[in-house]
Amino acid sequence: MATRRGINNEHDCLLVARDRTGQTLDFHTGRGPVTAEQLHACLGPVLIADVLLISDAAASYRRFAQEAGITHEAVNSKAGERVRGAIHIQNVNAWHSRFKSWLVRFRGVASRYLINYSGWQRLLDARRLITAAHWLCAAVQLG
């Protein structure tokens, strides 16, 4: 059980990327803060060249963006910054909040299954599963 809050080596990192339409990608990067190398492995293959990456102020995002040659804007929430015009990370923060609230019912999950739970959350967020048949197809991966 973790004794500290926030991003540290006691918690697993679930890297979440969302666009303004709600399309979501997530990656389990292991314990501790995400590194620039992990960002290259996870986001490098899926981001287009002219993307605007908006993140928190962690140095790994700045380094990744610089090395990948993409535009980057950081929001320093530790300094009280939440929104700067259209620049914000509230979409990802809201997803994390919904995910954590949803996970409470399971009373803890194994780290090795974390990506499966986040996939389930993506399905719930998409609101495409509206009938029992849709749920059954998704459960057996036919849909």
Say if residues 31 and 9 touch (Cβ distance below 8 Å): yes
Q: Tell me the pTM.
A: 0.76
User: Does 138 score more than 80 pLDDT?
Assistant: no
Return the H-helix or E-strand segment holding 142.
Answer: none
Residue-wise pLDDT tens digits, 13-40: 889 998 888 888 899 998 888 999 999 9
Residue-wise pLDDT tens digits, 53-112: 999 889 999 999 999 999 999 888 877 878 788 888 888 888 889 888 988 888 878 888
DSSP code at position 37: H
Query: How many of the other CB atoms lie within 10 Å of CB of 90?
Result: 12
- In angstroms, rounded to a whole number, what is the distance separating the alpha carbons of residues 83 and 5? 23
2-6, 58-62, 65-69, 113-117: least confidently modelled range: 2-6
- Length reported for the chain: 143
In Å, how far from its chain's centre is CA 108? 19
Instruction: Classify each residue of 39-70 as buried b or exposed e, where b means 16 or more C-beta atoms within 10 Å of its C-beta.
Output: beebbeeebeeebebbbbebebbebbbeebeb
- In angstroms, rounded to a whole number, what is the distance separating the alpha carbons of residues 15 and 107? 22
Confidence of residue 122 (pLDDT cuts 50, 70, 90): confident
DSSP code at position 129: -
Say if residues 14 and 118 touch (Cβ distance below 8 Å): yes
